[in-house]
Amino acid sequence: MGALRDHGGSNPFGGSPFEDIFDMFFGRERPQGGEPGPERGTDLRVALEVTLAEAATGVERRIAIAREETCPVCFGTGAEKGSAPETCPTCRGAGQVRYSRRTAFGSFSQVSTCPQCGGAAKVIPHPCVECRGSGRARAKREITVKVPAGVEEGTRLRLPGEGEAGMRGGERGDLYVDLAIAPHAIFSRRGRDLHCEVPVSMAQAALGDEIDVPTLEGPVPLAIPPGLQPGATTTVRGKGMPSLRDGRGDLIVHFQVVIPEELTKEEERLLLQFGKLRGEDIKPQKKTLLGKFRSRLS
C-alpha cells in the first residue's frame, strides 16, 4: 500500500483511492503522455564579498559564472543543422506506450512511459555535435551585480533571468547573490551604527582636547571634554551606515585612555607633585625585569 498517497481526500486523476489500486493492476491511461512543454531553467546562487565602505556607498561588481545557455549551434532544438527532431516511432508522439498484461482477473493493458523517447514524444536521429542533443551548452558569462547602499551581512540579491536557460523554450532561471561584508580594520558594525576605539592620553583625558576621529568618509574633528573617564563613549551623528529602509546610523566612539608604560625622571617628578597637590601620598614602584620584558611583548 506504499504507492497510495494523500492528495487531500482524492487522487490526482479525480477518482478514489480504490481506483488507484485498480489502475495499478489494470493500467488505466493517465494524462501524462504527449510532447512535454517548456521547462523553466534552474536558479543559480553565488557568494560575493564587499568591503564595509562599498556596503555603505553601494557598488557595481562584475562576477563570472558558468551556466547552461541555449545552444548557439542548434538554437535549442538539439538537432544537427539541417535536421530536426522527429516523432518517436515507438509511441508515435504519445510519449507513452501500452502493454498487454495477464493477471488473475484476465488480460489487461498497461500504460507506461515510452522507453525510446523517455516521454518526450520526439527523438533526435542526428544530435547536435555541440550540445549532444540536449539543446543547451555550458558557457561562462560575466554579470554586473548592483549592490545597493546599506546592505547587511547575509543580504541576498535576486537577478531575474540570469540563471540557466530553460528547456524547450522555457524561461530562464534566476541568479541569487549572497553578500558577505569583509571585516574592517577600524570599524565594527551593529545594525546601522558603526563603532570604533580611539586612544587618548592621560593629559587629554584630564584637560580635554580636540582630536580627529576616523569615519568612512575621512577624519572629522571631535572635542574631548575635560575629565574624560576610561571607557567613555560619544556619538557622532550621521556617520554610521545608511539603511535600505530609513536614515543613516551613527558612529559610536569608544575612548581608551592610554597609560604610559615608561616615564622620564621629569615626568615622574611632575606626576608626584600633581599627586601631592591632590593630597595623595604616592609611593612609586620600580618595574621589575620580568615586568619590563612583558610590557615589551604586549
For the chain, the structural domain boundaries read 188-284
Residue 196 CA to residue 241 CA, distance in Å, equals 13
Residue 128 CA to residue 84 CA, distance in Å, equals 10
On whether the 188-284 domain is CATH 2.60.260.20, my answer is yes
Strand, coil or helix: 217: coil
- What does each C-alpha distance from 76 to 65, 134, 169, 236, 246 come to in angstroms? 20, 8, 8, 59, 46
Strand, coil or helix: 225: coil
Closest C-alpha to 239, from 229, 223, 260, 253: 253
Q: Which residues contact 32 (CB under 8 A, 6 or more apart)?
A: 95, 96, 113, 119
Going residue by residue through the chain (298 aa), what tens digit of pLDDT does each one get? Answer: 333 334 344 343 344 444 444 444 444 444 454 567 788 999 999 999 999 999 999 999 999 999 999 899 888 888 888 888 888 998 888 888 888 777 777 777 788 888 888 888 888 889 998 888 888 889 999 999 999 999 999 999 999 999 999 887 889 999 999 999 999 999 999 999 999 999 999 999 999 999 999 999 999 999 999 999 999 999 999 999 998 777 899 999 999 999 998 889 999 999 999 999 999 998 888 876 555 555 665 5
The strand pair at 175-181 and 44-50 is best described as parallel
Asked whether 236 and 217 are in contact (CB, 8 A), the reply is: no
Asked whether 96 and 114 are in contact (CB, 8 A), the reply is: yes
Look up the pTM and report it: 0.70
Residue 49 CA to residue 170 CA, distance in Å, equals 32
Among the residues of the chain, which ranges form H helices? Answer: 17-26, 52-57, 202-207, 265-277, 289-297
